Amino acid sequence: MTDPAIITPILVAVVGLAGVLAGQSTSRRMHREDYQLARQGAEVTTLRAVVESLTERVSSLERALAASEARVDALVDARDDAKRDRWHAIDYARQLLTWGHECASLIPDDVDPPPPPEIPPALADDL
């Protein structure tokens, strides 16, 4: 039949082949895991950089928004002051017109009073 001298080296070779295949499989699995860990580490690093960049951008936009809101508040205050000053000017103009008419009535009848000044078109509707 078969010689035991041939079977023993074949069995050793088969066992050795099985060991090599098992070692190779384990090595590939470990390389794959190492590669995946390295890739995930790179992804985490990239994501951290993106998060830091976005955080900086959000902070910058928040500062710009706060500055814009402050400018808007200042402009609203200036507009309100201008409206108030405008109404004071209109009230003063009304008083001047009344005073001018009263002064014109004091002029003797034989003297022609000077003509009243033209009312600016921007104020004509308010007077």
| pLDDT confidence of residue 81 | 92
Amino acid at site 78: A
Please write the tens of the pLDDT for every residue from 49-91.
Answer: 999 999 999 999 999 999 999 999 999 999 999 999 888 888 8
Q: Which helix (H) or strand (E) holds 91?
A: helix 4-106
Tell me the per-residue pLDDT of 91-102, one tens digit each, with 9 for 90 and over.
888 888 888 888
| pLDDT-based confidence at residue 39 (cuts at 50, 70, 90) | confident
pTM (2 decimals)? 0.50
Total count of residues recorded for the chain: 127
- Domain range summary for the chain, segments of one domain joined by +: 4-124
Instruction: List, in order, residues 6 or more apart from 104 with CB less than 8 Å away.
Output: 113, 116
- The two tokens of residue 30 are 């470990």
121 — phi, psi (to 5°)? Answer: -55, -30
